[in-house]
Structure 1
């Protein structure tokens, strides 16, 4: 099957959950036997280092990028002759109208989250009337894109409900196919003590790790607050936070203000290789997201490396961790709930899954081969719906 996909950005240049998913997803389609052709928006003149059939539809501004994606999509329809159109980001697919595609080609949209609502939450410093106006415009753009879709794929029950309740999409059109992890790369380290020594972690020292985009809704500030209490009881414990974003400077100041500089460190953007090492070395990973956590790729990446994950009981994080152990879920998203749970874990008062059990859980549920098979079934269903629709005209 020839699958034409459109994404957001290129993960090597713009790290993020959607972008990483998009790269691994296209690789999985290729390995499954599909012919893939993808479009992403990266920096102008940037060369994408990949063996995948993916083009950079760059533009100098937002509307230029949208037009570039449409231009390349129309060209791909003529040259690549896709069997399925599979967009992953509503804004960049918004100008690819139903008339841009032959009537027999279904549109199967991946819903990675409510872009308008996420943007509204990240614009907290703007006047309310401005945020509301921008939100409504962005939501209209999303709805235009979704209105023309034949079927949808979401990564969790949580996102299925948002897609249905916020955008009016019927449940019968939505398929839940959880994300997956590149389990041959995200794997336990053969010599954790040596790795921890390399990273500067002393023997017996407790290492907590958090990998997140540094934006307000990720709850990083609450986790930093929680470390005040954790450090009082476990002064040798360390928290390392990987990632970058608009709130980084504010959170670095928070660490200094709370006197946590010796115990909490923000690493900034780390390479894929470094990310794996931090997962492998950590005693626990933490996912403190307050809201709009559609799946939580970092959760299964950490567990694939053998490291248990503590997370807030919301969205996709809740759906993943509740299958492993309820002890891995904070009672809520407050700093008090986080510190209480972490102290209990560091004191050995919780019965947590072993490192082997964490990895096995991922291997049984979150592999790319199973994702590719399930996605293919959705593609075939959408094709059949299109065939019937065309035949009935």
Structure 2
């Protein structure tokens, strides 16, 4: 099958949607399908062979974060050319409700279109206001996918219709096989090792809550360490910490996927103190796959992944004292950590790409079968409406 996939966000900036699209493409290629991804990027040289460069991205505030997207007349021309050259059996776009390559591809596409919605925001005024503009785009979509029940609810409440829930995929085996790194493991005399992964300066990731809780954790667990992985202003983040514990927090910057997996396999507890805007929680699944017990804020999306607290522990969103209390308990209880690790290792199986890709292929086959002549995606005339809207 010839599959075209559109990634709306900058390929060379780490993010959940980008990682999902990358893993999807590479898994489908391993299964023998022809896959081409269209994505913006600041550095074209970083793109793998299966990605077509759609130009540089520009930052746009979106869902409590800053999305780097590509939109405009030149982008529309690139989309049209990619669709024409690809002659795809199915087009799979991600987040078509935002002004991006995905929306342009929906305007331009003339064959079966599958759309995945990642956003979870029950009070999105932007989506409500944009509904009249989005309606023609939504009508062209052959099948809708939401990455979680929470994302499905957002879609239904704001845009109508419905979607099948297919979660983000994870290469579970990749994380299971990761070798711990001695320097990241708890050493004799230390009080344990915690980890956080996320963009440091993005407030909704909740690092400030974890740093607020850390002195209380350190007082109860002398020698405890916190390892922080992610890009951003490390000095600004460290300003939250009193001098007495600053040396126990190590900012690692950005690491390769291999080192990220090794980090997760090395630590005693992975902490996800996110404040909101999460539709799924892929990092939780990655940590669980690597064997790290998870302590996360009780966001709806996280509660779903952690099965109501049975395969991980949750605390009230933004409550630094509750975070500290749970972290102290987990660091002091090896039996409970092992129980959570074992329970999580079973729970993550349904997120493995072997399962997720099979569900996606079933959707692809459904939409192509429903198309009478399996029309190819693209065509010069298909973009006229999109070009008119952009002018």
TM-score range, shorter chain: 0.7 to 0.9
Distance 2:103 2:292 in 1: 40
Give a deviation string over 1:265-307, Cα, whole Å, max 9, x none.
Answer: 3322222222122111101101111112111111111111111
Aligned counterpart, 1:73: 79
- Offset at 1:147? 4.7
The answer to whether the Cα contact below 8 Å between 2:54 and 2:79 also exists between their aligned partners in 1 is no
Question: Residues 68 and 47 of structure 1: is their aligned pair in 2 closer, same or farther, counting only changes over 3 Å?
Answer: farther
Distance 1:72 1:376 in 2: 26
Distance 2:58 2:317 in 1: 40
Aligned counterpart, 1:101: 109
Aligned counterpart, 1:219: 206
The answer to whether the Cα contact below 8 Å between 1:57 and 1:65 also exists between their aligned partners in 2 is no
The answer to whether the Cα contact below 8 Å between 1:226 and 1:338 also exists between their aligned partners in 2 is yes
- Offset at 1:356? 4.5
Count of residues in Structure 1 that have an aligned counterpart in Structure 2: 360
Question: Residues 54 and 379 of structure 1: is their aligned pair in 2 closer, same or farther, counting only changes over 3 Å?
Answer: same
Question: Residues 64 and 112 of structure 1: is their aligned pair in 2 closer, same or farther, counting only changes over 3 Å?
Answer: closer
The answer to whether the Cα contact below 8 Å between 1:313 and 1:333 also exists between their aligned partners in 2 is no
Question: Residues 315 and 200 of structure 1: is their aligned pair in 2 closer, same or farther, counting only changes over 3 Å?
Answer: closer
Distance 1:156 1:116 in 2: 13
The answer to whether the Cα contact below 8 Å between 1:66 and 1:94 also exists between their aligned partners in 2 is no
Question: Residues 341 and 21 of structure 1: is their aligned pair in 2 closer, same or farther, counting only changes over 3 Å?
Answer: same
TM-score by structure 1 length?
0.80
The answer to whether the Cα contact below 8 Å between 1:70 and 1:93 also exists between their aligned partners in 2 is no
Distance 1:287 1:327 in 2: 11
Question: Residues 64 and 210 of structure 1: is their aligned pair in 2 closer, same or farther, counting only changes over 3 Å?
Answer: closer
The 3-state SS of whatever aligns with 2:82 is helix
Q: Give the 5 Å matches for 1:278-297.
A: 278-297=263-282
Question: Residues 64 and 367 of structure 1: is their aligned pair in 2 closer, same or farther, counting only changes over 3 Å?
Answer: closer
Distance 2:374 2:35 in 1: 25
Select the structure with the greater relative contact order (CA < 8 A; seq sep ≥ 6).
Answer: 2
Structure 2: state its 5+ residue gaps.
60-68, 376-391
- Offset at 1:138? 6.9
The answer to whether the Cα contact below 8 Å between 1:188 and 1:304 also exists between their aligned partners in 2 is no
Aligned counterpart, 2:328: 343
Among 237, 253, 266, the alignment partner of 2:251 is 266
TM-score by structure 2 length?
0.81
The answer to whether the Cα contact below 8 Å between 1:115 and 1:138 also exists between their aligned partners in 2 is no
Distance 1:64 1:17 in 2: 17
Question: Residues 64 and 342 of structure 1: is their aligned pair in 2 closer, same or farther, counting only changes over 3 Å?
Answer: closer
- Structure 1 position 33 matched with structure 2 position 35: no
Give a deviation string over 1:107-134, Cα, whole Å, max 9, x none.
Answer: 211112169989xxxxxxxxxxxxx8x8
Distance 1:282 1:388 in 2: 53
- Offset at 1:377? 1.5
Among 226, 230, 233, the alignment partner of 2:220 is 233
The answer to whether the Cα contact below 8 Å between 1:32 and 1:372 also exists between their aligned partners in 2 is no
Aligned counterpart, 1:203: 188
Question: Residues 356 and 61 of structure 1: is their aligned pair in 2 closer, same or farther, counting only changes over 3 Å?
Answer: closer
Distance 1:318 1:14 in 2: 27
Distance 2:170 2:354 in 1: 10
Aligned counterpart, 1:121: none
Distance 2:283 2:106 in 1: 34
Give a deviation string over 1:47-68, Cα, whole Å, max 9, x none.
Answer: 24535x2111114757965444
Among 248, 253, 274, the alignment partner of 2:239 is 253
Question: Residues 388 and 303 of structure 1: is their aligned pair in 2 closer, same or farther, counting only changes over 3 Å?
Answer: same
- Offset at 1:373? 1.0
Aligned counterpart, 1:112: 118
- Structure 1 position 4 matched with structure 2 position 4: yes
Aligned counterpart, 1:92: 101
- Specify which structure has the higher proportion of strand: 2
Question: Residues 239 and 144 of structure 1: is their aligned pair in 2 closer, same or farther, counting only changes over 3 Å?
Answer: farther
Distance 2:72 2:123 in 1: 20
Among 134, 154, 172, the alignment partner of 1:183 is 172
The answer to whether the Cα contact below 8 Å between 2:226 and 2:248 also exists between their aligned partners in 1 is yes
- Offset at 1:260? 2.9
The 3-state SS of whatever aligns with 1:95 is helix
Among 354, 359, 368, the alignment partner of 1:383 is 368
